[in-house]
Structures are given as structure tokens and as C-alpha cells.
Amino acid sequence: MEHYVLPKTMTAVVLTGTNDQYEIRHDIETPTEPGYQEVICKVMAIAICGTDPKLLKGKPYHYCPEEYPFIIGHEWSGIVVKVGPGVFNLKVGDRVAGEAHRGCGVCKNCKEGRYSLCLNYGNDSTGHRHYGFTTYGAYCQYVRYSCGSLTPLPDNVSFEEAAMCDTAGVAFHGLERAGVTPGGTVCVIGPGPIGLMSMKIARCLGAAHVIAVGRGARLKAAVATGACDPDKAIDFEACERDGVDVVQKVVEMTGGIGPDNVYEASGAKGAMAQAIEMCKKGGSIALLGTPPEGTMVEIPMKKITFKELALFGSRGNPNVTPAVVNLMATGQLRVRDLVTHTFPLTQFRQGIDTFVNRKGGAVKVIFYPNEQPEVPFVKA
């Protein structure tokens, strides 16, 4: 593909205010002129992130849109259709996966590679971008993007799989920070998309046993997809009903020692305290879940000290997308089984409803802003 004629207008999901005020419009001006080190991409697949329904509601996140109209969406993949000045790593026709963060590149955190913690967050004049949050995102047919926030895809990674790079990358980064003990046992609290991906990646990075704490269809999905050990799926609702202590049950499963690593992926109040109680002496904990704004919890501080636990916060997926793509391409990380529903972008309301209300056991829901890829996507 050497030349691509961009249409004057495109279809996009446009937020016009808070409390689910949005429109599916077909007259949005298509971005046609990429800036320095930017490209224009045709969006082929985009997945719903758990933050998206909150942004639709206008929940008080510090990264909510400051003004409307606005386009959200950041878990996407597509094709480069136009290249701007200064771009040397991409060409027209390249298949790519998008990443939400682009740091300013000059602050201390960016220079240390921690660009998801850019000290110039939200200041577009510095070059910072948080696509789908402070800068227009990808619930649309075409998007203008920094070339540094895109990763080329091998031919055997589908657009649907590539749209899962953000979910996989967030999990990978958290596990990278807290560590995975080769041959050890990990416990994941909360088998949502991030939790399920954490289980799968923990396997890739050497965990011998995976315990999952959750409930309902998503706990069943953890077993069905091979993300956790079949005999180590703990239904906390059943435990509450039967008077069984979840923490004690996890500890018993590890011979009275506790998991080497605990990944809290639910964001639920009280889950962090459970993670501290169950983690083995000298173990580590990664906090992957996003609790509601202002959530305060009580934690057993003495346990942290006496057990010498290491607690890690984790944000975004800096510097991990190439590794995630490689794991997908080599078949070590299977993500197709987490994609439960697909819709054209014009059925955005139906897709959001399916995701939020977990209809049909929904885990990850993907939209096609343009035509569906020629090769049909088949869940594996």
C-alpha cells in the first residue's frame, strides 16, 4: 500500500457530556494531516477497557476529559495509512498496535523510561499525550497517533489479538514490577480482564501454580481458559455462604506458607488487606485494580513489616508492548479465548451494555470501526 485516500468525514463515538451523553456520528472530520513524528491510522479493532464506561459516566478521574465533545478509547489496532515528517520506524501499510501513553520525553520520569508517570501529564504543549483520556482516542475510523506509541505487528497476530495488547501490557507491567517466582505460586484476586491476563502471563513468566479468587462467569472463565489451576479457583461468594475464610483457604492451598506473589486486580475495598494477609513471608504484591476515586482502606501494617512484604503500585503498560506481541506471535500467550463478543462500532451502545452487565459471560468486547477483517475472527 503506497497511497491511501482518506475520506473527508468518518464515523466516531463522540462524548457530549457526562452521564452517558454520547452520539454515534458519521460527520466527524477525518484527521488527515499528521504532525511531526505522527501517523494517521485506520482503526481495525478496538476493545472496551474497564475505564471506558466510567469515562462515559464522567466519574471523577483526574484524567477525565476537560471539555466536550471528546472521543475516548485506547485499546486498539489498525493500519498506518499516512506518515508525517520525522517518522522513520513506520510506513504506509504497516499493521500496528496502539498504546495509550506518550510521555513528554524530557522529564526525569520519561528519561528513566517511566513515561506512564510523565511529570508533564496533561500538558499537550510538552508533547505529552494520553490517548482516550486527555487526547482524542480511537473509538472512530481514523486516528492521529504518535509513532512512538505504536508497535508493528507480525502477520500471525490478528487485529483482535493486537487490540488486547493494552490489557496484556497492563498485567505484564504489574507482574514485571512485583516479580513472578519461577516454579512458585501466584494468587490473583479478581478474574476480570486484567486478572485473567495476569494469570496467563504469570504462566508465561514461570509460575507453576495459579490460584484465582473471584466469582461467577469470570471465575469459570479462569478455569475454562486454563488461566488458573482447576482445583485452585476460589469462589469468594461460596466461601462467605459457607463460613469459609478466603485467606485461610489460599494459605492452606500453599501448604500453610502463602503464595509467593499476589496480584490484586479487583480494586475492591478490602482486597488489599486480604493480599497482605495471604502473601508469604518475603513475598510481593502488585496492585493492578483501579478502585473508585477517594477509596481509603485499613491494612495490617505490622504484617507488611514483619513479613517483609513488597507492595507495588502499577500504572499503564510502559515498554512492554513488544514483549507482549512476541508472546502472542509465538503462541505462548493466548488471548483469543478472552474475546467473547464483537460488534461494529455503530452498535456501540449494545456493546457497552454487554460489557458492563456481563451479558453472555462477557469478558472482552471488541468493536470494528471499519469493515471486519477479511480473515474471520474465530475464538480459539
Average pLDDT over residues 364-377: 79
Average pLDDT over residues 201-212: 97
Kindly state the percentage of the chain with pLDDT values over 90: 88
Where are the domains positioned within the chain? 7-151+334-366, 166-311
Query: Using an 8 Å Cβ cutoff, are 11 and 28 in contact?
Result: yes
Residue 41 has pLDDT above 90, yes or no: yes
Query: Using an 8 Å Cβ cutoff, are 307 and 349 in contact?
Result: no
pLDDT tens column, 283-341: 999 999 888 778 888 899 999 999 999 999 999 999 999 999 999 999 999 999 999 99
Q: Residue 151: what pLDDT?
A: 98
Side chain identity at residue 157, one-letter code: V
Average pLDDT over residues 138-156: 98
Residue 375 has pLDDT above 70, yes or no: no
Spatial distance between the Cα atoms of 228 and 238, rounded to a whole number of angstroms: 18
Residues contacting residue 52 through CB under 8 Å, at least 6 positions apart: 72, 73, 132, 352
Residue 24 has pLDDT above 50, yes or no: yes
Q: Residue 157: what pLDDT?
A: 97
Spatial distance between the Cα atoms of 321 and 225, rounded to a whole number of angstroms: 22
DSSP three-state, residue 186: strand
Residue 1 has pLDDT above 60, yes or no: no
**Fold designation for 166-311:** Rossmann fold (3.40.50)
Residue 61 has pLDDT above 90, yes or no: no
Tell the residue number behind the cell numbers 488471548, with chain if given.
335
CA nearest neighbour of 284 among 207, 204, 226 = 207
Residue 380 has pLDDT above 70, yes or no: no
pLDDT tens column, 220-276: 999 999 999 899 999 999 999 999 999 999 999 999 999 999 999 998 889 999 999
Model pTM above 0.85: yes
Which grid cell sits at 142?
481514523
Query: Using an 8 Å Cβ cutoff, are 172 and 201 in contact?
Result: yes
Bond before 69 cis per omega within 30 degrees: yes
**Where residue 379 falls among pLDDT bands split at 50, 70, 90?**
very low
pLDDT tens column, 71-91: 999 999 999 999 999 999 999
Query: Using an 8 Å Cβ cutoff, are 264 and 289 in contact?
Result: yes
Residue 374 has pLDDT above 60, yes or no: no
Side chain identity at residue 207, one-letter code: A
Domain spanning 7-151+334-366 has what CATH number?
Answer: 3.90.180.10
